[in-house]
Structure 1
Amino acid sequence: MAKDSLDDYIDAASKLLRLPVKDAWKPAVRANLEVSMRLARMVDEFEFSDEAEPASVFTA
């Protein structure tokens, strides 16, 4: 996502959530989103085999 698109997203999301984001915070918020999107892309691109099944749920 381009820098201006991320800035636009930050502005829109902060308005939607009614969460004020000061201009001084925007570089840190942008950096966090860039890392989150890079990690999400890695998970999305991971190939699972056809035999893969979800992990069991264990309760105590």
Structure 2
Amino acid sequence: MAEPLDDYIDAVGRALSLPIEDSWRPAVRANLEVSLKMAKLVDEFSLADEAEPASVFTA
């Protein structure tokens, strides 16, 4: 039975016409798992309504 991430990998591969070799699947899946964990941390971090974006300085 396919896992949701495996289905996602298949769907994105088809949408982008990107062949994904079976040998790559574990690495692609691991990368997605880490990316989703990091995204969840950012999404769950609450900010006060008065929070302002940081200034951007360039040289």
TM-score range normalised by the length of the shorter chain: 0.7 to 0.9
What TM-score comes out, normalization by structure 1 length?
0.86
Aligned residues: 58
Partner SS for 1:6: helix
Query: 1:2-60 deviations in whole A, cap 9, x for unaligned?
Result: x7110010001001001111001001000000000000000000010122111223344
Asked if 1:55 is matched to 2:54, the reply is yes
Runs of 4+ in 1 over 6 A off after TM superposition: none
What is the one-letter code of the residue matched to 2:16? L
Which structure 1 segments of 5+ residues have no match? none
Supply the distance in 2 between the matched residues of 1:24 and 1:16 (Cα, whole angstroms): 20
How much identity, in percent, do the aligned residues show? 66
